[in-house]
Structure 1
Amino acid sequence: MAVHVYGCNHIVIEVTDAKKAVKFYADVFGLKMLQGGEGAAWCKLGEHQFLAIFEVERLQPDRVKHFGLMVRDAEQIKEVRRKLTRKYKLKMEPHFRCDFRDPWGNRIQVGDLSDESLVWLLPYQEVQKAGITFSKPSRARQGKERQDA
């Protein structure tokens, strides 16, 4: 029998202060707390996933490991960037639209639903419910079309 993966269930980050991390992720992304589970805290991510926050004494930052979160549109990305840079004084990763390291060094990449190349990441029904339509080619598809020409 072939294995069928339905998606990602959860991601885990390490922090030195779980209470502060929960407040940070609730403020920047509006994440809601869940009950129970392994780790210091669980936050709901979308319909079927969660973020597990583990409190550790000493952080060991990674160089390239990261996870991506999806927001609705470019306006929400602007709001995330504004809050990260103004309120939290965090620096955005260069050469990326909305990549940053949280106060504990975890790297997060934020994308939005307007990029058609990202639709495969979401259940089609959720995209329909969000009212997302694609009237122009995505930047990724435009780049491929240029390469093919």
Structure 2
Amino acid sequence: MVQVFGINHVALDVNDLEKAIAFYTDILGVQVMKRKGKNAMLDLNGRFDFLALFEDPSINPNVPKDGHWGVVVDNLEEVRERAAKWGVTFYPEFECDFRDPFGYRVQIIRKADISKQSMPDDSDNI
């Protein structure tokens, strides 16, 4: 039997590591847990989940990336306010979905709403 404990990390290639660190530490209130050269790891919860950032100057931030990643927070409204200060455009059909400055879609989920989440193909609940 295998028991899953969670997602260990999400890895994003970004064209500007300093900007990526500033963006994610500002809007999510997380800390840099490790940094080496053009790579950084941001602590997402103090256990084993982290955001890995890899600087690659060839990444075009103006090209939206496929897919998205989601993060659960206790204060969605505060994250939304912080993200708005960065000038992100929110997806109107969601409470706090936006593209980061590097073209990645980020979905912020309120902890209290986790039990209400629908499946992507459950059109009645989207």
Question: Structure 2-normalised TM-score?
Answer: 0.79
Amino acid at match of 1:80: V
Taking the aligned partners of 1:107 and 1:59, their CA distance within structure 2 comes to 15
Taking the aligned partners of 1:39 and 1:8, their CA distance within structure 2 comes to 23
Unaligned runs of 5+ in 1: 118-137
Q: Which residue of 1 aligns with 2:56?
A: 56
Taking the aligned partners of 2:20 and 2:100, their CA distance within structure 1 comes to 9
Taking the aligned partners of 2:22 and 2:87, their CA distance within structure 1 comes to 16
**Preserved contact between residue 89 and residue 98 of structure 2 (Cα < 8 Å):** yes
1:116-135 Cα offsets, whole Å, 9 max, x none, are 51xxxxxxxxxxxxxxxxxx
**Preserved contact between residue 14 and residue 106 of structure 1 (Cα < 8 Å):** no
1:70 aligns with 2:69: no
Say which one has the larger Rg: 1
**Preserved contact between residue 38 and residue 52 of structure 1 (Cα < 8 Å):** no
Taking the aligned partners of 1:107 and 1:116, their CA distance within structure 2 comes to 19
RMSD: 2.6
Q: Which residue of 2 aligns with 1:93?
A: 91
Higher strand share: 2
1:83-126 Cα offsets, whole Å, 9 max, x none, are 222x2111002311110110011111001111251xxxxxxxxx
SS of 1:115's equivalent in the other structure is: helix
* Residues 1-149 of structure 1: pairs in structure 2 closer than 5 A: 2-36=1-35, 40-46=39-45, 47-59=47-59, 61-63=64-66, 65-72=67-74, 76-85=75-84, 87-117=85-115, 138=116
Taking the aligned partners of 2:86 and 2:7, their CA distance within structure 1 comes to 28
Taking the aligned partners of 1:14 and 1:101, their CA distance within structure 2 comes to 14
SS of 1:52's equivalent in the other structure is: strand
1:24 is displaced (CA, Å) by 1.1
SS of 1:14's equivalent in the other structure is: strand
From the superposition, tell whether residues 38 and 112 of structure 1 become closer, same or farther in structure 2 (CA, over 3 Å).
Answer: farther
Amino acid at match of 1:102: D
Q: How many residues align?
A: 117
Taking the aligned partners of 1:101 and 1:11, their CA distance within structure 2 comes to 15
Higher helix share: 1
User: Taking every aligned residue pair, what percent have the same amino acid on both sides?
Assistant: 35
Q: Which residue of 2 aligns with 1:135?
A: none
Amino acid at match of 2:70: G
